[in-house]
Amino acid sequence: SYTPAPLFAALNFLSHQRKWAQDKEYVGFAALPNQLHRKSVKKGFDFTLMVAGESGLGKSTLINSLFLTNLYEDRQVPEASARLTQTLTIERRGVEIEEGGIKVKLTLVDTPGFGDSVDCSDCWLPVVRFIEEQFEQYLRDESGLNRKNIQDSRVHCCLYFISPFGRGLRPLDVAFLRAVHEKVNIIPVIGKADALMPKETQALKQKIRDQLREEEINIYQFPECDSDEDEDFKRQDAEMKESIPFAVVGSCEVVRDGGNRPMRGRRYSWGTVEVENPHHCDFLNLRRMLVQTHLQDLKEVTHDVLYEGYRARCLQSLARPGARDRASRSKLSRQSATEIPLPMLPLAETEKLIREKDEELRRMQEMLEKMQAQMQQSQAPGEQSDAL
């Protein structure tokens, strides 16, 4: 039977750090990263992935292929006449995936209606607004009273689908990417890449890369691999980077070709495209880079770079109106954030938030009391240490 390769297990252990664990000569704090890693992974891993691009490029099929789910089962694609006056909507779908003891709460953000209408002017604005709203929410939570359980609903990555039928980026693609590139990590992919012959794929990729450069669009930069990696790994890493934008094919149908093992693919009269065959498409590369190695980095860049940028802009725009001297502006650090009126919220909403936070505080206090009571009852000698 068909068993897919483990997706998230890599989150648990960075392979090249295992060797430190076994050596008794060392003090052992080189294992610290693993401890931190495990702690955060035990909490569960949240990730929000946005998928954008015009309809019919295989987005839903690819997501289902990547995460081996059937998230879009009940989806209804409206007819053209219904889409004549459709406005862009933002849809969220959540799925919990557990693998190798790791729980991943994946949120998928979809943008049905994008690029569909006859007039698509400004159709990207709702998307930009959505991304900023998540930042806003996080900023508010971060500045709030209870910061232990902040829900991170920020968009960590946007997979942008480019048509294989065009001649590179279309005006709409450029407009969308320029509107969001400073706010979200963009990974461009070419959908339905089985429409292209190998030479066409290379030419299209080059054209897209040139256009991205010309239009000064910053896509997500996969970080340089560590210098202590072996040559093979470095070469593989370089090859993967060269293949951006990834030319992908998705499928959830399993095909059996003769005596070969069953695999996912698309069967045509002239042959079968294998989704996981690196000579057929970049699906494996995308999966490796997005899920297996860079999930955490995407979150970090979102937090350290994109969100910080948003936060700085936001707080600066607060500082501008009214006469504020340099000294007080420097006080706009995290500690004093609560003293500044939170931006962009009507009064009624603020009050509602305060009430909610109060409730949360009360609940937490109750829990604390319960835990204290439990601890007093149990006289357990010691807790299991995290053996490495």
Partner 1 sequence: MSKGFPETRTDAAMSELVPEPRPKPAVPMKPVSINSNLLGYIGIDTIIEQMRKKTMKTGFDFNIMVVGQSGLGKSTLVNTLFKSQVSRKASSWNREEKIPKTVEIKAIGHVIEEGGVKMKLTVIDTPGFGDQINNENCWEPIEKYINEQYEKFLKEEVNIARKKRIPDTRVHCCLYFISPTGHSLRPLDLEFMKHLSKVVNIIPVIAKADTMTLEEKSEFKQRVRKELEVNGIEFYPQKEFDEDLEDKTENDKIRQESMPFAVVGSDKEYQVNGKRVLGRKTPWGIIEVENLNHCEFALLRDFVIRTHLQDLKEVTHNIHYETYRAKRLNDNGGLPPGEGLLGSVLPPVPATPCPTAE
Catalog residues that contact partner 1 under the rule CB under 8 A: 55-57, 77, 79-81, 83-84, 116-121, 163-167, 170-172, 175, 192, 194-195, 197-198, 203-204, 206-207, 266-274, 277, 279-280
For the bound state, the minimum distance from the C-beta of residue 184 to partner 1, rounded and expressed in Å, comes to 20
For the bound state, the minimum distance from the C-beta of residue 278 to partner 1, rounded and expressed in Å, comes to 10
For the bound state, the minimum distance from the C-beta of residue 270 to partner 1, rounded and expressed in Å, comes to 4
Please give the structure tokens belonging to residue 109.
């953000």
Judge contact between 107 and 92, C-beta under 8 A.
yes
Nearer of residues 12 and 272 to partner 1, judged by Cβ = 272
Judge contact between 287 and 7, C-beta under 8 A.
yes
Nearer of residues 55 and 64 to partner 1, judged by Cβ = 55
Q: How far apart are CA 297 and CA 270, in angstroms?
A: 41
Judge contact between 156 and 167, C-beta under 8 A.
no
Nearer of residues 117 and 243 to partner 1, judged by Cβ = 117
For residue 265, the cross-strand partners are 274
For the bound state, the minimum distance from the C-beta of residue 272 to partner 1, rounded and expressed in Å, comes to 6
Nearer of residues 50 and 164 to partner 1, judged by Cβ = 164
Nearer of residues 239 and 351 to partner 1, judged by Cβ = 239
Candidates 151, 149, 145, 219; CA nearest to 181 is 219
Three-state SS sequence of 77-102: CCCHHHHCCCCCCCEEEEEEEEECCE
Nearer of residues 79 and 325 to partner 1, judged by Cβ = 79
For the bound state, the minimum distance from the C-beta of residue 172 to partner 1, rounded and expressed in Å, comes to 5
Contacts of 281 (CB under 8 A, 6+ apart): 193, 194, 247, 248, 249, 273, 275
For the bound state, the minimum distance from the C-beta of residue 198 to partner 1, rounded and expressed in Å, comes to 7
State yes or no: cis peptide before 245, omega within 30 of 0: yes
Judge contact between 226 and 168, C-beta under 8 A.
no
